[in-house]
Chains A and B, each alone.
Chain A
Amino acid sequence: MIHSRAPIAFVAPAVILMFIILIAPVFIAGTLSFTDYNLGNPGFNWVGWKNYDALVSRTGYKKMFSASLAYVLIVVPISVALGLGSALLISSLRFGGEVYKTVFFLPVMATLLAMAIVWEFTLDPIVGVLNHVLRSGCDIGWLHSFLTGSWLGMDATSSWYGHGCSETFPLWIGDKDYALGTIAFIGIWQAFGFNMVLYLAGLTSVPRELYSAAAMDGADSGWERFKLVTWPMLGPTHVFVVTITSIRSFQVFDTVEALTRGGPSKSTYVMVYAMFEKGIRQNLIGVGSAITVVFLAFVLILTMTQVYFVNRRVHYS
């Protein structure tokens, strides 16, 4: 035991900052969610559960929950699958693996807001490259008939591509049916390289002997080896990757704020954006705090689920 004030002096700044910056705000948000507080008014009134009632009853907020949930449900499975898929392919390559790894990791590094703006230009209905390429495909006979399915005798104009050729291709972020999917696409583009690296790390920890053991048990095909050895041995990695991707997708903000501002017709009105719009832009701090509390609850549930799975899991190491 060191009888000096050193430990206290070392720990005190961190503890004080933790209380002021991390813990106090959580309680402040909890308290304010029961008030009609706003910046500029000296006092406030207690309003009970009114703010939470609004969250469950008003259509705007119902759209908020469904947009957030849909975003998470699109981004998590696809970016996890792409991360695992690319990790498996890269780790089985003879050469060139490092190059793909670098390329796939680039979006993780790059400023998301900046890249969102580039995607916006790419997806622009008039000058964007994507619709330009789609349009130019319409004039190439064989490609048109292949993509519309008319080579199989299907009606060209009833297909998605044929419709795009004869009318217009989607506005992407400007169309309420496509906006969320498009924002989710950017989210996947950004996130899967991160998952890939986690899976690559997970794969290196799978003991080689297990594959020969599986081969002796008659697992000859790559698929069987994957099913018997790789997939179960990656258990802890799966739990970590899925949780962290879910938490990050719940926090999507940059792309929504820069490209759609929650629209069109609230199709991309995700939670963190709603928190920002209500609490900070419109100074409706009560409602903003209520969204904050619900958001925090979601994130904590996800984290607890992870802890539960990690503890329950058999560790092979």
Chain B
Amino acid sequence: MNPRTHFPSEILKHAILLGGAMVVILPFYLMLSFSLKSPAEITSITGGFFGSQELITDPRCIKEGKPKAECTMRPIVYNYTAAFKEAPLLRYLLNGVIVTVSIFIIQVLVALPCAYALAKLRFWGRDVVFGLVIFCLLIPVHAIALPLYIMLAKVGLTNTYAALVIPWTISVFGIFLMRQFFKTVPDDLIDAARMDGMSEFSIVWKVMLPTAIPALLAFAIFSVVAHWNDYYWPRVVITGDRDLMTPPLGLRMFKSDLDGNEYGPMMAATTVIVAPLVVAFLLAQRRFIEGITLTGMK
């Protein structure tokens, strides 16, 4: 094949993909750009990507009776300080970390022993339990949301961290994934551990857990991405109490009580919330793509 005959088609492919890439990037570009610019530049759509960064005065700050010098700042500073001041953004981020980390840890604590038992131990009822896991894989989260909400409301747990975490403590997908992985671990390894006098309990945590690190990492990415980004469930169980809101829910509240058109601070908050996962993704793309797609059958 002559490379020269392929030259035009190669250019054409790049042109198509580049066009698509621009549409895909557009909202990310605008988000970042708006978070840097002054309100006037945003509404008039001028100033390019960075804006002119001319000093602006915050009218609300003047109203509070502070000196003008203190209320005058660069748009970028104004947007990001307003985002952290008006929305308790740090609190939302902290909640996001608390919720996603607790969910992941509990999921592993519950799933790992079960997966080990299903893969490596023979006991009465094993096939029934595995059948149950497969059956539960079919149940979509939105189908259990309403009854779970009622159950939590009945025991008075709405508007608590528990409500955000409890429904996700069981990951049948995690059990399934880890079981498949443990199936590939040689029996000799476990037998050797038993010979050394290890209990089944310490086999799970001291032998199986270390071998399962790659699979667990993929599952961790899947779990953390899903729950950091989840908006539906927090929206259902957290009503009003801002101190418990996760990043997406907090952002939604910020949007609904904006006075006027405060696009700049809003976009600054959006950038701060989207950034952690996007940065992590750019640093470890292969792992992220693996984690989200291999486990994407949920």
B43, B136, B199 interface centre (most CB from chain A within 10 Å): B136
Interface residues as binary, B5-39 with A (CB distance below 8 Å gives 1, 0 otherwise): 00000100110110011011111101100100000
On whether the beta carbons of B142 and A111 are closer than 8 Å, the reply is no
On whether the beta carbons of B293 and A115 are closer than 8 Å, the reply is no
Q: Which residues of A contact B292 (CB under 8 A)?
A: 108-109, 194
Chain A residues 94 to 135 lying within 8 A of chain B, measured CB to CB, are: 94, 96, 100-115, 117-119, 121-122, 127, 129, 132
**A7-B126, A92-B13, A118-B31 in contact; A299/B247 too (CB < 8 A)?**
no
**A21-B144, A105-B289 in contact; A28/B10 too (CB < 8 A)?**
no
A102, A110, A251 interface centre (most CB from chain B within 10 Å): A110
Bound form: Cα–Cα A303–B136 in Å = 13
On whether the beta carbons of A296 and B23 are closer than 8 Å, the reply is no
A-side interface size class:
35 or more
Of the listed stretches A59-67, A139-147, A161-169, A271-279, chain B binds A271-279
**A112-B229, A117-B270 in contact; A14/B170 too (CB < 8 A)?**
yes
Chain B residues 24 to 70 lying within 8 A of chain A, measured CB to CB, are: 24-28, 30-31, 34, 42-43, 45
CB A221 to nearest CB in B, in angstroms, measures: 12
On whether the beta carbons of A93 and B13 are closer than 8 Å, the reply is yes
Bound form: Cα–Cα A54–B30 in Å = 44
* B146 is an interface residue with CB less than 8 A from chain A: yes
Main secondary structure of the interface of A (DSSP, over half): helix
Chain B residues 239 to 298 lying within 8 A of chain A, measured CB to CB, are: 247-248, 251-252, 255, 261, 263, 266-267, 270, 273-274, 277-278, 281-282, 285, 288-289, 292-293, 296-297
Interface residues as binary, B128-159 with A (CB distance below 8 Å gives 1, 0 otherwise): 01001100101110111111111101000000
Partner of B140, one of A89, A107, A289, A296: A296
Interface residues as binary, A67-108 with B (CB distance below 8 Å gives 1, 0 otherwise): 000000000000000100010011011101000111111111
On whether the beta carbons of A15 and B21 are closer than 8 Å, the reply is no
On whether the beta carbons of B10 and A6 are closer than 8 Å, the reply is no
Q: Which residues of A contact B281 (CB under 8 A)?
A: 105-106, 109
On whether the beta carbons of B229 and A13 are closer than 8 Å, the reply is no
Partner of B296, one of A15, A86, A89, A244: A244
Q: Which residues of B contact A109 (CB under 8 A)?
A: 225, 277-278, 281, 288, 292
CB<8 Å pairs between A and B, sample of 12? A10-B117, A22-B136, A22-B170, A104-B24, A105-B288, A106-B25, A114-B273, A115-B31, A189-B24, A194-B296, A244-B297, A272-B232
